[in-house]
Amino acid sequence: MSSLDKPKHTLEPQLSPIDIDKNEVRATIGMLASEMVNAPILLSLKHIEEFADEHVAVLIQRGLGSEHDITDYNFTEFGADIMEDELPIIALSHIVLKYEPFSLEEIFFLKDKQIILSMAHPEVFTNEMVQFLHEKKITAVGINFLNLESTQLQDTVKQLVSSLSFSKKMVQIIQLNSLLLKSIYCYNGEICNQAVAENAHVPWKDLVELCWNWN
């Protein structure tokens, strides 16, 4: 039986299928499933394997790849951990990825100073969502602001997540990464995209001014 013939959902997915000392994990990335039919998977199996080799843990919500013929077992073969629900993934991750925009509930359960990456259509943002982002000092990346071709999506997300995962000084990473300058719509809780701010009826700040203010 080939790996792709195995059941799409592992019965008892291991929480630590790869041999990485948890004390050596440099960061943890969480990938949430989307309700959208055929939503793209933001990181390929190869990318997940590369992160595992770099001591970055990847948590996958069960069933994430089912519409793409990628089983939970396939993800664990390449070094990911499978978890049932989104809230524990959010709680354990430094960076949380989801193709669809984050829901109000998911934003409510984010941790302080967390980083999120997803589609971020300005019209979905409410004042309440933006207030939670502000209170928790979230940094948020909207991949739709990059106007990517579908063939560019996974490699671009890998590049963004790599930069954010290994960053010690977020300001410097943003200054050196043009993709982040184009796609960050909330930096440390401050809305820095005019369309998002206008839809949520809040003020906005320019990201360049936020990241080049040496005072």
CA distance 161 to 136: 20
Q: So what's the pLDDT on residue 16?
A: 43
Domain boundaries, position 198: 3-211
Low pLDDT (below 50) residues in the chain: 1-20, 215
- pLDDT of 181 reads 95
Number of domains composing the chain? 1
CB 43 within 8 A of CB 13: no
Chain segment 138-162, per-residue pLDDT in tens: 999 999 999 999 999 999 999 999 9
Tokens of 209: 């001014």
Give, to the nearest 10 degrees, the angle between helix 45-53 and helix 153-165: 20
Whole-number pLDDT of residue 166: 79
Q: What's the CA gap between 141 and 192, in Å, rounded?
A: 11
User: In CATH, what number is assigned to the domain containing residue 83?
Assistant: 3.40.50.720
